Structure 1
Amino acid sequence: MKWVINDEAKSKVIRMAWEDRTSFDEIYKNTGLTETDVIKLMRKYLKPSSFRSWRKRVSGRITKHGKKFSQSRKELKNIPQQKIDIRALEY
């Protein structure tokens, strides 16, 4: 996909892509860029080492994918909460 992007929009997309809580779905809603487009943009405008670091960071992060994130939140809500006795912990 060919797109023209100004510096302000480019900075916004890069900032959203680096944020842990901003999913690719939200980026798509705000900018119209798909996950593939965001990856291409990051590859083009980041230094190679920064791109590799970002890719490694988001590859295993479920918060970057809306469906996976909402499913994991539902699973976490079903886990019974346990109280921890702080006095029992050894320092």
Structure 2
Amino acid sequence: MRQAMSMPMSTFDVRRSTFGTRYTVDGELRMANDRWRTANGERRTANGERRTANGERRTANGERRTANGAHAAGISSFVADVAGSAADAACRAVNSRA
């Protein structure tokens, strides 16, 4: 038991300031709704996702996500590929009939 008490605290341990505000060991402010606020104002969810000040979602490794959680870059490139493929197929169909 003594050994467990001497182990370093994890980053999820919470300390209270003199004003009752809760901070994690690495200085992130913990809010009442179980989100963490970083020094630059980003909110962190319990699973490590970040919300920027303008509401944009980022994964723990920094990838952007849309509001519904899909990868932003992946969606836009996929839509562009599908639209381009459909346009190419339509052009080929028209040209083959002419």
Query: Could you say which TM-score interval applies, normalised by the shorter chain?
Result: under 0.3
- Larger of the two Rg values belongs to structure: 2
What TM-score do the two structures reach when normalised by structure 2? 0.25
Report which of the two has the higher share of helix: 1
Structure 1 length normalisation: TM-score? 0.26
